[in-house]
Structure 1
Amino acid sequence: MSSPRVVVVGGGVIGLSIAFHLAEAGVDTTLLERDTLGSGASRATADVVRSYFAGNPVSSALAVRSLEAYHAFPTRPGIDLPLRQVGYLVLFTEADQVTAFEADLPAQHAAGVDVNLISAREARERNPLIGDFPLVAAAYSPQAYISDTTAIVTAYARAAEQAGATLRTGCPVTAIDTRAGLVRTAAGDVSADAIICAAGAWSASLVREAGVDLPLTEPIEQELLTTDPLPPDTPDIPVTLHAATGLLVRLRGDRLLIGMGYPGPDREAWRRQVAERLAATYPSLAGLALHTAVTGLRDASPDKTAFIGHHPGPPAFLYATGFSGHGLCNAPAAGELVRDLYLDQDPGFDVTALALSPRRAG
């Protein structure tokens, strides 16, 4: 039986950020991952890091803090990271969407988000692919970048190991026993003074075993699609979201990467809906074949805001889960907050907005 001081369960971008920040602070840290690093939700991302999350200034504040960390990657942890600024455009087709945006705007600005309302004309100038459908206005934030999730996962893993953390892959956790201070795996028990659950879609049962009843929804399978090669004169465009339908597109090389909600049980029907919405929003792309780009299981919370909290021990139990697709954008800040909660130091953030509370009980 090994005796690390802290065990982090989950080797996605959140767990690796936590492991890096703890090890950097001198904490004896072991991370346990059921498969390979970044093999869960971290493999099903659009490689976009942005700051604006509509109606969710808490996630936006985490993302603003995380963007600062991503920009600082060359000096800490000391690894160059691709960041190509493209901006984030949200298309409004209904007046009440504009009303909701304007009501949310003060909180977004207070969170540090650079986002503002622009006209339909300016939206079409920023994305010339937009078709001639009724467009009321749009939101635009320049704080959106194309990065590389695999590079981020690899960077955090390398930096965590260099700081002294132990990363164990192919080691699924079967149970958490907080009374005994044990993390149970098929390869044997691992003891710890603190256990941190960052297991993404596999978090719900683990946090319940630790006596924390987070209202996490059932794991959702995410699928992103890609098109056949685009015409050679296709212009560069921002990451663009059609607010009414959830159609999200960005350029990836000579193709378009597409997301729109979740496939559900009838994947073919969902694909037809995506193709129809793509043709209606971007008529010049109608008829392009769609193919699976990536799939992965995603965790989710009822309000689409992460749960990050700390239950004192011994052993202490901490959790960082329910990121609802915001994990890549929130990962650096999540690692910093969990480190500070564990070390009982000021995180410089109102963590009560992230912890389990009656308001967030589902």
Structure 2
Amino acid sequence: MSALPARADAVVIGGGVIGTSAAYHLAEAGVDTVLLERGSLGGGASAHTAGMIRTYFPGDPGTGRMAVRSLNAYHDLARHTAAPLALKRLGLMVLFTDEQQIAAFEAGLEAQQAAGVQVGLISAREAWGLNPLIDERAVLAAAWSPEAYHVDGLDIVRGYAAGARRHGARLFTHTPVTHIDDDNTLHTPQGSIKAESIVCTAGPWSGEVASMASLDLPMAPRGIEMLFTDVPQSPHREMPMTMHATSGLRIRSWKDRILLAMGVPKAGESREAWLGRIAGQLGTLFPALEGTGLHHAWAGDFDAGPDNRALIGEHPTRRFLYAAGFTGAGLCQAPAAGEQLRDLLIAK
């Protein structure tokens, strides 16, 4: 590994999908950029997600606007980075089991569409047609958004990293930041580097990075565990990502099994009780999955900001920029977040 340079215009901390997007967009704009990643590129949440890019976020057209902008960028990514993405359209469906959920959807539909989100209300029968595992008697209606795709998050990280390097950015892995001086000198086990601007994209560790710089970034990391079902005796038809508006349960096809998530056990709740809750929801909404075994896929923390919305901005008195708190939706917003960070830094 080459030695750290003595200084850089921008030092990006974190080599996930947000950090590599930031490094790419900064370097493309002519900013002398260094990225520091404490492990391997994409080794955190970027590599351990359900691998979905979507544009519909219930009740949050602002995030939808970011996601629409990002999806357009992904479709054009190969032209800029020579790294085509294998985007596979699956669609996203949100199941409504309460009349108030339908009313809230209809009240917010105009704002969603104004943000460029393609989404509409479909009947329980139409929902069953898209995902035959659904018990249509348990569902009143559903939101359907066709613009949702499976993608390998590591492909995005590798593409942005390669593009950043082609534009002159220097990326250092296994280089954790251990301390930040008041003059924006960052210390690592591999040496120190002075940054004109620091760009914090460290995911769940963004709050810790900010505290090294004596700054407060209101982060609340949220745990999640992904589960696999048993391999069925006969294969399921490929289905869209399907979410339950009430419980937050979401399922999707994953090779020969079903991948699902519903948070983690609540405070004081045993793992067995949590798995029992999930099994109960599965049996109610997807009877064909009743009694299926549930197996650990992976677990970890997502970075979450206030109100579950991402924090993208700059400190008012210090050259410290940040993009964090994406609550597991970093893949959906990474291009737009990188562009925003670039624009903020260049404008300084």
**Structure-1-length-normalised TM-score:** 0.90
| C-alpha distance in structure 2 between counterparts of 1:331 and 1:8, whole Å | 14
State the shift of 1:295 in Å. 2.1
- Describe how 1:26-45 pairs up with structure 2 within 5 A: 26-45=30-49
The equivalent residue for 2:54 is: 50
Segment drifting more, 115-124 vs 272-281: 272-281
Amino acid at match of 2:289: L
The one-character-per-residue Cα deviations of 1:56-114 (angstroms, maximum 9, x if unpaired) are 11111110001001111221222111111111100000011111111211111111000
- Describe how 1:68-217 pairs up with structure 2 within 5 A: 68-177=72-181, 179-210=182-213, 212-217=215-220
| C-alpha distance in structure 2 between counterparts of 1:77 and 1:84, whole Å | 19
State the shift of 1:132 in Å. 4.6
| C-alpha distance in structure 2 between counterparts of 1:263 and 1:14, whole Å | 28
Residue from 313, 323, 326 that aligns with 1:323: 326
State the secondary structure of the residue aligned to 1:4: strand
State the shift of 1:311 in Å. 3.0
Amino acid at match of 1:232: S
The equivalent residue for 2:236 is: 234
Amino acid at match of 1:318: L
The one-character-per-residue Cα deviations of 1:301-342 (angstroms, maximum 9, x if unpaired) are 1211110002366x6210001111111101111011101111
| C-alpha distance in structure 1 between counterparts of 2:42 and 2:287, whole Å | 35
Residue from 258, 261, 266 that aligns with 1:259: 261
Residue from 296, 300, 307 that aligns with 2:300: 296
| C-alpha distance in structure 2 between counterparts of 1:299 and 1:267, whole Å | 22
Amino acid at match of 2:309: T
The equivalent residue for 1:10 is: 14
Native 8 Å contact 1:221 1:263 kept in 2: no
State the shift of 1:300 in Å. 0.4
| C-alpha distance in structure 1 between counterparts of 2:331 and 2:271, whole Å | 25
Native 8 Å contact 1:40 1:298 kept in 2: no
Residue from 243, 246, 251 that aligns with 1:244: 246
| C-alpha distance in structure 2 between counterparts of 1:303 and 1:312, whole Å | 22
Gaps of 5+ in 1: 346-362
Native 8 Å contact 1:51 1:113 kept in 2: yes
| C-alpha distance in structure 2 between counterparts of 1:115 and 1:101, whole Å | 10
The equivalent residue for 1:272 is: 276
State the secondary structure of the residue aligned to 1:251: strand
Note closer, same or farther for the CA distance 1:191–1:55 as it changes in structure 2 (3 Å cut): same
Note closer, same or farther for the CA distance 1:156–1:267 as it changes in structure 2 (3 Å cut): farther
Segment drifting more, 256-265 vs 34-43: 256-265
| C-alpha distance in structure 1 between counterparts of 2:232 and 2:35, whole Å | 42
State the secondary structure of the residue aligned to 1:180: coil
The equivalent residue for 2:341 is: 338
| C-alpha distance in structure 1 between counterparts of 2:301 and 2:47, whole Å | 9
| C-alpha distance in structure 1 between counterparts of 2:125 and 2:44, whole Å | 39
Native 8 Å contact 1:43 1:294 kept in 2: no
| C-alpha distance in structure 1 between counterparts of 2:119 and 2:286, whole Å | 24
Segment drifting more, 192-201 vs 74-83: 74-83
Native 8 Å contact 1:43 1:295 kept in 2: no
Gaps of 5+ in 2: none
State the secondary structure of the residue aligned to 1:76: helix
Segment drifting more, 221-230 vs 323-332: 221-230
The one-character-per-residue Cα deviations of 1:233-288 (angstroms, maximum 9, x if unpaired) are 52221110011111111101111111112345633332232222222211112222
Native 8 Å contact 2:223 2:263 kept in 1: no
State the secondary structure of the residue aligned to 2:299: strand
RMSD of the TM alignment (CA)?
1.8
The one-character-per-residue Cα deviations of 1:21-73 (angstroms, maximum 9, x if unpaired) are 11111211111111111122212210000000011111111100010011112
| C-alpha distance in structure 1 between counterparts of 2:211 and 2:328, whole Å | 22
State the shift of 1:173 in Å. 1.3
Amino acid at match of 1:330: Q
| C-alpha distance in structure 2 between counterparts of 1:263 and 1:284, whole Å | 24
Native 8 Å contact 2:13 2:36 kept in 1: yes
The one-character-per-residue Cα deviations of 1:137-184 (angstroms, maximum 9, x if unpaired) are 11000110111112111211222222211111111112323x312112
Native 8 Å contact 1:44 1:224 kept in 2: no
Native 8 Å contact 2:24 2:163 kept in 1: yes
| C-alpha distance in structure 1 between counterparts of 2:112 and 2:76, whole Å | 23
| C-alpha distance in structure 1 between counterparts of 2:135 and 2:110, whole Å | 31
Equivalenced residues, count: 342
| C-alpha distance in structure 2 between counterparts of 1:233 and 1:207, whole Å | 47
Native 8 Å contact 1:307 1:320 kept in 2: yes
State the shift of 1:221 in Å. 2.5
